[in-house]
Structure 1
Amino acid sequence: MSSGGDNLSSSYFILIGIPGLEDVHVWISLPIFFMYLTTLLANTSVLLTIKKEESLHQPMYLLISMLLLMDLVQSSAALPKILLLFWFKLQEISFEGCLVQMFFIHSFAVMASTVGLAMAFDRYVAICQPLRYSTMLTNPFIAKIGVLVVTRGTLLIFPLPLLVKRLPFCRSHVIAHTYCEHMAVAKLACADIRVNVVYGLIVALLVVGVDIMGIAVSYVMIAIAVFKLPSREARHKAWNTCISHICVILMSYVLPLFSAVTQRFGGHTASSTQIILSIQYLIIPPMFNPIIYGIKTKEIQKNVLKLYCPQKSRFQ
């Protein structure tokens, strides 16, 4: 272990979990474990279904598969380590491992947000410009969106671990958190972290602000187009194609926004509450997203059943 005055950049950190609730870590871990198992099963099932079924190789389903893949990677970057911490008190994480975990958690969150914006554009074209849908949203165009998604997430988040790496950690190496969240680590530094704070806020505004605005504009235009439809049945059908995405968007933004605000400005909010919120946004959207799409999208539902019950689906 490094001495109190050493820079810990080449050493390791200690994750303590949820401060004040150490005695009930095992009990807290049980719902997390079962929710993570559900996340793995649900996401892999839908991803395998979309990959296997050629009829689902369409823009909307390819975007869904991108979102589920981003969710799966993001949750898997943190939850296995959290469970090992809660079960076996494996608290140590190397400095390099901490930076890698930080990058994957935050970059894939940005990627998932970007996919959400692309999905809103997909619904806008499908409802507002249906005759142009097949020519605008081709599979090569979706591939370009995929490249943009990965590039945006990588370029925006890559500076975060570099900004942390430059900091001296001479006071403490104990992270009052369950994983290497950027601000939780930066706050340990015995140096000015204003650059980290400002850059984190800039990224949040560029991602959440731009994406929410784009999604909101898309759905305002969708709403105008839907209200102009002649029949109630047509309006219901149009909204039904959007409801899954709206539910996913609400879950994907509300928890992270609340967690980010309390992390930076919630001086009077208990640290245990902040940490529990941050764990929830790593597991609740990834768990429910494939379930929502499986329930609301008949093509996915039918083909997932076919994946697990081929004999039954043959007679339907």
Structure 2
Amino acid sequence: MTDTPARLLSLLSLLQTPREWPGSELAQRLRVSSRTIRRDIERLRDLGYPVEATLGAEGGYRLVAGAAMPPLLLDDEEAVAIAVGLRAGAGHAIEGVEEASVRALAKLEQVLPSRLRHRVSVLQSATTALARGDGPSVDPGTLTTMASAVAGPERLRFAYRAGDGVRSRRLVEPYRLVSTGSRWYLVAYDLEREDWRTFRVDRVGEAFATGARFVARQLPMDPEEFVRRGLRGRETTYAVEATFETDVAELPGWLRESAVGDAGGDDGRTRVRFETADAPEWLVARLALTGVPFTVQAPAALAAAARALGARLAGAGA
């Protein structure tokens, strides 16, 4: 194999399998000399790939974990598997990884050859995920289109159905995608209304990037706070207060941000307060999934949901 770039890619593909490769075997597979393999290993190291060499008569090479994440080389089956998995997860907001998974899906689908895109679409249409039932599903294609437009940045056009059923066409400068745990929202500057708006992604259709670039405007506050304020005026929200039997450092990030201090004394308890539009049944399950004992102080609907969930789980255990 005389083409150096192609040979480096082939060598990298071999090294990314979790095993140690003797230098002689790599030379045989790539039909080059052991000396060429040594030079190619140095080239990969210069590119940031942490290749470890072992001493001995044969000597071997393997790719190890480094300080930074180097680019990965995927074969067709691996790329399809990752894309299908990301699409399945992207249709629902997943706590902790939601924005990262959508960004990864957008990057992957941008470089997938058309033949692999077709395979991903076929597999996606032939499978379905059991929805939680607490929030609407979102078209992964819409999410990736929006994520790519945000990263561009490119102006975005789409059809939108408001909460009262009124339909409209929008031209916006997308700023950020925000997940609340059960819904996705797009924060964008609406060019026709000349103001910032939030859009529920499950109400968006026919989204496409126009190709027109723009200089991003400065949102007057954090996008999360902007969405939160918008929800107060458009959806039923309620104030939550709960006490967890642990230090604040042991709580997941979304709860640490709402902590208001210990619950009194040095007993290691933490009180949290926040506002939400999530259904009480879904929120109490989300709180229970932290694995930390907690007590609900408010509102009454959330406390009732906690008692009902506890009774159902106790019955299941019996």
The structure with the greater share of residues assigned to strand is 2
- Higher gyration radius (CA): 2
The structure with the greater share of residues assigned to helix is 1
Q: TM-score range by the shorter chain?
A: under 0.3
Higher RCO structure, 1 or 2 (CA under 8 Å, sep 6+): 1
Q: TM-score, normalised by structure 1?
A: 0.25
